[in-house]
Structure 1
Amino acid sequence: MPDLEQDLASLCSDFSTLRAEVGKVLVGQDEVVETVLIALFAGGHCLLEGVPGLAKTLLVRTLSECLDLEYSRIQFTPDLMPADITGTRIVVENEKGRKDFEFQKGPIFGQVVLADEVNRATPKTQSALLEAMQEGEVTVGRETHVLQQPFMVLATQNPLEMDGTYPLPEAQLDRFLFKVHVPFPNRDELTEVLERTTGSRTTQVQPVLGGEAILRHRRRILDVEAASHVQDYAVRMLLATHPGGEGSPEMVTRWVRYGASPRGVQALLLGAKVRAALDGRVHVSFDDVRLTAPAALRHRILIGFEGEAEGVTSEQIVNAVIEQVSEVVEDGAAGT
Structure 2
Amino acid sequence: MQFGVFTVGDVTPDPTTGRTPTEVERIKAMVAIALKAEEVGLDVFATGEHHNPPFVPSSPTTMLGYIAARTERLILSTATTLITTNDPVKIAEDYAMLQHLADGRVDLIMGRGNTGPVYPWFGKDIRDGIDLAIENYHLLHRLWREDVVDWQGKHRTPLQSFTSTPRPLDDVPPFVWHGSIRSPEIAEQAAYYGDGFFANHIFWPKEHFQRLIGLYRERYEHYGHGAAHQAIVGLGGQVFMRRNSQDAVREFRPYFDNAPVYGHGPSLEEFTSQTPLTVGSPQEVIDKTLTFREHFGDYQRQLFLMDHAGLPLKTVLEQLDLLGEIVPTLRREFAVGRPADVPEAPTHASMLKAAVR
Q: TM-score, normalised by structure 1?
A: 0.30
Q: TM-score, normalised by structure 2?
A: 0.29
